[in-house]
Amino acid sequence: MNRYYLYLLLPVIACSFAMPADAQTVRTRKKEEKKKEPSIYEIDTLLQPIPRNRQMWHDKIDKEQNRADASDGVMRNRELYYTDDSVINLGLNTAMFQVVDQMQKMVENLPQKTRDAIMDNQEKIRCLKAINEMLFAFNSDVKADPVFYRKQIYNMRDLIIARNEGTSMDFVKKNINFQTLNNVKYLFEPSSEERIFIFTEMGKQEPQIMIKRLSEFANESYADDIVAAAAKVVPNELFSYASSTNYVLSNAVKRSKDPLVQTIVRISQESKSPLKAMPFLNDIYTKKKTIAEIDQITSNHDLFYQNLVRLKLEQVSLGGDTYTDELKYRSMKYIREMNDLHEEKDPVRFKCIENFPPEVLYFIMVYGQDEIYTSSFLGTYKRMLERMKPMTGDQLLEKVHRDKFRTFIRMCAGYNTLTTFLGTMDADNKNNLMRSFIAGLEQGKDDELEDAVDVADAFGSIEDSSLAVFLEKQVKDNYEASYKFRSKKGVIVYGLLATLFEGLKGMDSTTAAMQSDKLNLPPISMVMNKNLTNDSGIVYEQVFFYGDEDGKTSYTSFMGNFPKDKWKVVTNKYWAEISSLQGKKIVIYANLPIPEPGDEEAQKELAKYLAEKEIHPSVVIHRGHSYHLPLTIDQLQRETKIVMLGSCGGYHNLGKVLDHSPDAHIISSKQVGSMSVNEPIIRSINDQILAGNDVDWIMSWRGLNGYFAAKGRETAKGMFDDYIPPHKNLGAIFIKAYRKMLSSFDE
């Protein structure tokens, strides 16, 4: 395969934005016409001086613009650096500074609409205040989407014009989206028809998002419709509000006359274990089971889990996310028990799953993917295969309605069991399954990528050459179908998969550079030293420890890596500061593993200190179990360039890391991280930084392979082999490339 597929993206982009011939004729004619005078909305100079009572609002807006300019840690005279993507930066810069400046003048130049100067003054203040609130929201958003806010700024300008023209309602009806909703909230009173309309419509289209904003409209009459709509898709959110001590929020739910909402209220009030009962909302709502019967089921973990599987097999749609989340949470009990007993013989280790049928074992594996050890997967997989006879693999997948089947295939590929699983089927069914593995990735919303990431990750583990050729052809066929039907998401997804597939055919520094160029990404095989240092040439690192026994042991081992002749260590109540004494300057901050909740307090105090000193770590290392990982991820910053998870880097974790740190190179493991592996990797990274070199992943992994191949390190070598370096982390590479290309489409 060559560059053909990626090059095909270009005509699609061109076709998507090309004008029809008659439109081009009109454009040519317009050029020939006499240039018209600019409208009142386009004039870029003030017609009258700004009165003092409005100047304060202009000052506020200017202040927010300056805050935005400094949000990357450096004032660049209105040159906001938000990502490594210059196109996105340029679009946001233009909107944030040029368009907002012009909007300020436009508001001042709005003609007087009434004879009441006070009313006209108040109208202009309202507009300026709305602009200020919009910019304040951007500066307060720790995960601000630059494309979203660029669109919102243009939306605000057009909405102000529509408001002045008396066509605001028409504008709102034609632009039903979150940008309009936010701007209407800033510009219009709660009782306005514009606000009622946009909140109601967005409540119908996006109830799962709108219900999170209930506090904004809880007392409004249209809240009832949004609450009822949300109950069907995110009932747990309604349960939280019904149980809340906040009267305004709880009353917004309890006053609803919707039968489903009232069932949720009853569960919150009558169940002995209401959180456990919520996954069975459909059983209670349809009167299939009483609340008391559900309480009896949830009191027994095995019975609880098997009934969650029952809901999956029955394909219950009501509360699907609720019982799916619970299924994932409950799967971890079995996974952790098997993991903890990894040194025991199989009859002891796998006793907790001994009585389960194959479909239950399937769900334990796919929903326990974030923590499952290789040996735990293999033992569970072996029992599933034995117990599913005489069913074939495709029949088992049909029985579970192919729920997360791409995840399962990706896991089988990663743990070298895909050949045996496919071997349970005949040739036609095998081909049909793998065809469907590739097909349909263009479906769903633009940001729904879990299936595509599973496919990308699986590519790196498939060793069967004939299967690889088959999948390569499927990618090509699906790309061409997406091109034919003008599926933007499909064109991007399959174009990127084709490029990733091509890059698997041997990777060295040269091919990695070519791969980066094809994906339009910064180098995927290295992090340049200049991107790790701050303006003073210092590389800041942060290590997150947690207060359980593993965390304490890990911290003690970690601190043993810094001899006094090469490092200076200063410790206070909450953290240790470790500074290099030789080579280039590295400063490492590691919070102390204080027993819970002291560990979180230590991390908060350290975060506060770093913020005060305007220190933005470019290297972040997570040292803890995967259930601690969300706390670490929430503290990542946009400036972070290397993230070492030390535990599974599944799709959701990868996506969240890249939400916070869009340019991060991610090191993750197929199973829980190990001190004996983590520390040599960290030393390899720091040795390159101390030498002033770029961090080269290909060279690093070559050296680490040699280190772990030494005699006496066989156990560590087995665990190291489960670590995925950034240049082979196809899921992370796919997400970064996809988001960048999608932004290019949106520009």
Residue 713 burial by Cβ neighbours in a 10 Å radius (0-12, 13-18, 19+) = middle
Q: According to the model, what pLDDT value does residue 290 have? A: 97
Q: According to the model, what pLDDT value does residue 456 have? A: 92
pLDDT in tens, 86-127: 788 888 899 999 999 999 999 999 887 655 667 788 999 999
Res 61 pLDDT > 90: yes
Res 535 pLDDT > 70: yes
Q: According to the model, what pLDDT value does residue 722 have? A: 83
Domain assignment of residue 35, yes or no: no
User: How much is the CA Rg of the chain, to the nearest whole Å?
Assistant: 28
pLDDT in tens, 147-198: 899 999 999 999 999 999 999 999 999 999 999 999 999 999 998 999 999 9
* For residues 259-274, average pLDDT: 97
Q: According to the model, what pLDDT value does residue 650 have? A: 63
Q: What is the mean pLDDT of the chain?
A: 89
Q: According to the model, what pLDDT value does residue 513 have? A: 73
Lowest mean pLDDT among 50-64, 204-218, 385-399, 499-513: 499-513
**CA–CA gap between residue 297 and residue 291 (Å, rounded):** 10
Q: According to the model, what pLDDT value does residue 23 have? A: 46
Q: Are the CB atoms for 142 and 659 separated by under 8 Å? A: no
* For residues 323-335, average pLDDT: 93
In terms of residue numbers, what domain contains 186?
52-190
Count of CB atoms within 10 A of residue 485's CB? 10
Domain assignment of residue 387, yes or no: no
Domain assignment of residue 184, yes or no: yes
Q: Are the CB atoms for 726 and 643 separated by under 8 Å? A: no
pLDDT in tens, 414-442: 889 999 999 999 999 999 999 999 999 99
Lowest mean pLDDT among 213-227, 383-397, 637-651: 637-651
**Mean pLDDT highest for which of 478-482, 719-723, 740-744?**
478-482
| CB contact set of 671 (below 8 Å; sequence gap of 6+) | 371, 372, 373, 374, 647, 648, 719, 722
Domain assignment of residue 3, yes or no: no
Q: Are the CB atoms for 720 and 708 separated by under 8 Å? A: yes
The whole model's pTM is what? Answer: 0.77
Res 8 pLDDT > 70: no
Domain assignment of residue 57, yes or no: yes
Lowest mean pLDDT among 9-13, 54-58, 278-282: 9-13
CATH of the domain at 716: 3.40.50
Res 647 pLDDT > 70: no
Q: Which of 174, 190, 206 is the last residue of a domain?
A: 190
Q: Which of 123, 155, 190 is the last residue of a domain?
A: 190
Number of domains in the chain: 2
Res 520 pLDDT > 70: yes
Rounded (10°) CA dihedral 418, 422, 427, 433: -90
Type of residue numbered 492: I
Written as one string, the DSSP assignment of 367-385 is HTTTT--HHHHHHHHHHHH
Domain assignment of residue 267, yes or no: no
Domain assignment of residue 614, yes or no: yes
Q: Which of 190, 211, 241 is the last residue of a domain?
A: 190
* For residues 533-561, average pLDDT: 94
pLDDT in tens, 140-149: 987 788 889 9
Tokens 């043993």 sit at which residue?
560
Residue 698 burial by Cβ neighbours in a 10 Å radius (0-12, 13-18, 19+) = middle
Domain assignment of residue 113, yes or no: yes
